[in-house]
Amino acid sequence: MLLVESRTPDAFEELYRRHAGAVASFVARICSDRQVADEVTQTAFLTLWNNARRFNPEAGRLRAWLLTIARNAAIDRARHKRVDVVPFEAAAGKASMQSGPEEQVENFERDRTVREALASLSDDQRTVIELAFFGGLTQTEIARVVNEPLGTVKSRVRLGMQKLRRILGPLQGNLV
């Protein structure tokens, strides 16, 4: 909270260091375009910088606030087109360049299966699971971000995970 209130460039950089990875990873799940994702991530932090006094720590963690801003910004950008759950693959591309051909094929197949599994969820289920896993939020925090009752979020997490298990469970031998 002190970092937010101070509004110094050093504090801003520290906040960015702490939270930008999670925000970018979550945004990457809901923006199919790398440039848009980067803009959305930066928008979230600039909003924090410009509206630091509006952040109420009693209402939740800063990360949840940032993810709320990022999610709204991403939805705003995607409002006129279907949100594509297939993320950009910049990081995957870098990783695959460092591995051998067999590993690349395995990675490709695994990534495709995971993407298809996530795509099989309803938008609501996918959102809560991505906010939890990629954004690091708890169910209570997610409920605030998506503005839904906690019970609804719990139900979406449970049903979404059960569906992912049906699809990804048989891959245990390859993934563990």
Partner 1 sequence: MNEITIDPIHEDLEAFALGALDRDDAERFEGHLDRCENCRRGLVSYIPVTNALRSVPAAMPPPLPAVSGPATVTPLRRRFAPVAFAYAAAAAVLLVVGGAITTLMQPRSDSALMTVAGMLADGPHQTVLQGDGVRGRLIIGRRNLRAAVVLRGLPPPTAGTAYHLWLVDAKPILVGALSPARDNLEVLLTNKERLGHGHALRVSLEPLDATAPLGAAVATGNM
**Residue type for position 29:** R
Write down the H helix ranges in the chain. 2-6, 9-30, 34-50, 62-78, 90-97, 101-119, 123-133, 139-146, 150-168, 172-175
Tell me if 97 contacts partner 1 by CB under 8 A: no
Which residue of 1, 5, 6, 21 would you call a contact of partner 1, by CB under 8 A? 21
Q: Is residue 25 near partner 1 by the rule CB under 8 A? A: yes
Binding flag, residue 145, partner 1 (CB under 8 A) = no
**Residue 138 binds to partner 1 (criterion: CB under 8 A):** yes
Report CA 114 to chain centroid distance, whole Å. 15
Distance CA 10, CA 102 (A): 44
Binding of partner 1 by 36 (CB under 8 A): no
DSSP class of 53: G
**CA atoms within a 13 Å half-sphere pointing along the CA-CB vector of 113:** 17
Which residues 45-64 are close enough to bind partner 1 by CB under 8 A? 45-46, 49
Q: Which residues bind partner 1 (CB under 8 A)?
A: 9, 12-13, 16-17, 20-25, 27-29, 37-39, 41-42, 45-46, 49, 87-92, 95, 107, 110-111, 113-114, 117, 128-129, 132-134, 136-140, 142, 154, 157-158, 160-162, 164-165, 168-172, 175-176
